[in-house]
Amino acid sequence: MDTQPELISSMEPLLPEDPPANVTDQCYSAYSHSTVLQGLPFGGVPTVLAINFLVWLLLLLVFSCLRKAAWDYGRLALLIDNDSPVIRRRWTSYDLTSLFYGEPSDKEKSPCETSPPDLNSKDLGFCSWLSSIYQMKDEEIQSKCGVDAITYLSYQRHLLVLLLLICVLSVAIILPVNFSGDLLGNSPAHFGRTTIVNVPTQDRFLWLHSVFALLYFLLTVLCMRHHSASLHYREDDKVARTLMVTYIPREISDPSLITKHFHEAYPSCTVTDVQFSYDVRRLMKLDTDRRRAMKGRLYFAGRSQKEGRILIKTHPCARLCPCDCCGFQKVDAEQYYAELEEKLTDEFTAERNRIPLKRLGIAFVTFQDERMTAVIIQDYSQPRCRRAPQQSSVTPIVHSHQWGVRYAPAPNDVIWENLAVSGPVWWVRCMGLNLALFILLFFLTTPAVIVSTMDRFNVTYPVENLQNPVITQFLPTLLLWMFSVCLPFLVYYSAFLECHWTRSNENRLTMHKCYLFLVFMVIILPSLGLTSLDLFFRWLFDIHFLDSANLKFHLIGTAMELLRIPGLTVYATRLCLAKSVPERLHVKRSQAYEFQFGLEYAWTTCVFSVVMTYSITCPIIAPFGLLYLLLKHMTDRYNIYYAYIPTKLSPSLHAAAARQLLAAPILCIFWLLFFSFLRLGSTHPVTLFTFATLLCCLLFSIFGLCLRKLRPKRPSSYQVRAIQPH
């Protein structure tokens, strides 16, 4: 019976009539022993900014030393050759691309195959890479890295322009309005005076915040419409004429049955080619190992003619123990690689002979004209509850009524080895991975939960009384950044393990999942991890909302993206485990990976969403968000050109990223609605206007999504027209 009075008394501080004198202490009154989130007056902003800037400069210096000294790690994209396994990972060695689509023309070749020959001329001095970032033109990046890279960089430039407008409006208009209030005293060094809580509830200026939230939504829509207008592309003829047919019975091995079905069911359609798909996972690995052994044999054969017999240690750990005390056996290098090549060649030949027995129930069917494929796609897109697709005399044999028919993805977009994972196995795998990921990220490893748990066990108690921004601000910032960077990689690897059939789907789902988890980790869940839900709402929405809030600076994050510490660790480990010089050369030429557009889109959009969400309640965050995105844009330009190999994706990925950005202003309006509801009441005109604004924005977004779903399907072309720089 005593719990009810306690609950009532606990809710009394929600809307106090008079703020306490010591507002700095009361904000965390229920958690007064927090040693992580307390700081100096004005949040320690100047000191923390200076520390972040100095560490950022230090990391840039370290990277300048490591990029060439550490086995050319910072310029791996300049070291790959056209015969590299990384380039050939698209299965061109098995003629799969030509098998399904014919030989590629000069316009269809990978960007790396047509890249300019003087790449090294841009990278001569110690810090020449810094100047090259600014001097690089979009045409050069497109020539080497492809159109997807230019589209991504154009997306970032649109965000920078949009964020510049938001920064000017928030700092020039919203910040003076917040600062004009007197609820939190008159001290100019008080950080809380820059927030919306300093404005009295009866002040008519509160209307301004809701109006600006709607204005930011409209600016975001216009900016993304302008960006999407540059995504015009023309459909490649070969891709538009090819369909991907799934769920074909695996016992069907005669292409003429597929041809006969389409000829009878669609008399106006002419099939020119039918190719079945096979499980080539083991064949891929054997071919890569075989070619690696061949290069080792050729290398040591050339050296043996000049230096005589060469002995090497074949144990994987031999390079870690260069002395002879470990007892690793030495063998003749040329003979070792010759025997290894012969063994792998025999296995490769045997596996290639078994390939026809490993059909996957997938076929690529090419027609004479793209209008024919449009007719078939429309027929198979009809709702199955009304009618079945057109049938033929061989329908009982090929089960055409159960087929899945869609436009074939671009050959360079297909992950051929993943085609073997399909049906119930794929769905069970996908649901299991996502369930495990949800449990892990939601309940266990939210960044703020980890930091608050450290604080709960008084990990930082010895430095509680130092009142030093290095401890109270910089260290928690670094910890939160580390956890926020590491956890999205778990989301990425979960999408990788799901075995999607195309790189575009893999990147798109990675983008959506990473963005969702990042928003929960960075915006929603941090406060839930600090205290109870009840105290969270009291801290969040009472009169002292954001009173003692702290600014966190992530300048060091852009420098850490240059270092790519996980990749450097893997690179160094592979070099140490290499058995010989040709294997180390192979590691150098195969370490560069494709740029993960899905992951980077999610991270960039999350940063923008954080800035947008707090740009009205705490306008001072906008300039620092603009600075971070500017540095990230320059970092991504460098990484795309120097550190990653090109990739070709569907334009639908870039369009999905533009649509996803609309969540940022919606989060901002949603945040203002909760603030108005608990601060002003549910019947206040400002609350009603904010609610109506949120409802209209949601309806607009849902209507746009439904309208897009009703559009007729078209092929995912990879012959994209060059985007003009803005």
Model confidence pLDDT, tens digit, residues 554-597:
544 454 555 455 555 655 666 566 666 566 665 555 555 678 88
Rounded to whole angstroms, the Cα distance separating 597 from 610 reads 20
What is the three-class DSSP state of 366?
strand
Q: Where are the alpha helices (DSSP H) in 84-127?
A: 96-101
**β-bridge mates for residue 330, sequence order:** 313
User: For 593, phi and psi rounded to 5 degrees?
Assistant: -115, 170
Gyration radius (Cα) of the chain, Å: 30
Rounded to whole angstroms, the Cα distance separating 72 from 532 reads 49
Task: Provide the pLDDT for residue 624.
Answer: 83
Task: Provide the pLDDT for residue 645.
Answer: 78
Task: Provide the pLDDT for residue 103.
Answer: 41
**β-bridge mates for residue 720, sequence order:** 233
Other beta carbons within 10 Å of 717: 20
Q: Are 380 and 245 in contact (CB under 8 A)?
A: no
What is the three-class DSSP state of 272?
strand
From first CA to last CA, the distance across the chain in angstroms is: 68
| Nearest by Cα to 665 from 600, 708, 706, 611 | 611
Task: Provide the pLDDT for residue 190.
Answer: 62
**β-bridge mates for residue 366, sequence order:** 242, 273
- Residue 421 is classified by DSSP as S
Q: Which domains does the chain have, with CATH numbers?
A: 41-235+419-709 (no CATH), 237-280+358-409 (3.30.70.330), 282-354 (no CATH)
| Nearest by Cα to 167 from 686, 669, 628 | 628
Q: Where are the alpha helices (DSSP H) in 389-502?
A: 395-398, 423-439, 447-456, 469, 475-497
Rounded to whole angstroms, the Cα distance separating 489 from 591 reads 18
What distance separates the 2 farthest-apart alpha carbons in the chain? Answer: 94
What is the three-class DSSP state of 365?
strand
Identify the segments of the chain with pLDDT beneath 50.
1-39, 70-71, 73-79, 81-119, 463, 466, 527-553, 555-557, 559, 563, 717-726
Q: Are strands 644-645 and 593-594 parallel, antiparallel or unpaired?
A: parallel
Other beta carbons within 10 Å of 672: 25
Q: Are 176 and 192 in contact (CB under 8 A)?
A: no
Rounded to whole angstroms, the Cα distance separating 705 from 298 reads 57
CA angle 183, 184, 189 (to 5 degrees): 145
Rounded to whole angstroms, the Cα distance separating 87 from 334 reads 26
Q: Which two tokens stand for residue 543?
A: 């009169």
Q: Are 316 and 598 in contact (CB under 8 A)?
A: no
- Which pTM was predicted? 0.73
Q: Are 551 and 624 in contact (CB under 8 A)?
A: yes
Ramachandran area for residue 491 (φ above 0: left; ψ -120 to 50: alpha; else beta) = alpha
User: For 341, phi and psi rounded to 5 degrees?
Assistant: -65, -40
Task: Provide the pLDDT for residue 211.
Answer: 92
Rounded to whole angstroms, the Cα distance separating 120 from 79 reads 9
Task: Provide the pLDDT for residue 574.
Answer: 60
**β-bridge mates for residue 593, sequence order:** 644
**β-bridge mates for residue 274, sequence order:** 365
Rounded to whole angstroms, the Cα distance separating 376 from 266 reads 8
| Nearest by Cα to 506 from 595, 389, 586 | 595
User: For 361, phi and psi rounded to 5 degrees?
Assistant: 75, 20
Q: Which two tokens stand for residue 92?
A: 């061109």
Rounded to whole angstroms, the Cα distance separating 174 from 171 reads 6
Q: Are strands 359-367 and 271-278 parallel, antiparallel or unpaired?
A: antiparallel
Rounded to whole angstroms, the Cα distance separating 560 from 485 reads 10
Chain length of the chain: 726
Locate tokens 């901002």: which residue? 668
What is the three-class DSSP state of 39?
coil
Dihedral, CA of residue 8, residue 12, residue 14 and residue 17, to nearest 10: 160
Dihedral, CA of residue 603, residue 604, residue 605 and residue 610, to nearest 10: 90
Q: Are 261 and 400 in contact (CB under 8 A)?
A: yes
Q: Which two tokens stand for residue 445?
A: 């490893």
Rounded to whole angstroms, the Cα distance separating 602 from 479 reads 20
Q: Which amino acid, 309?
A: R
Task: Provide the pLDDT for residue 576.
Answer: 62
> How far does CA 280 lie from the centroid of its chain?
28
Rounded to whole angstroms, the Cα distance separating 101 from 717 reads 13
Rounded to whole angstroms, the Cα distance separating 115 from 143 reads 6
CA angle 419, 425, 428 (to 5 degrees): 125
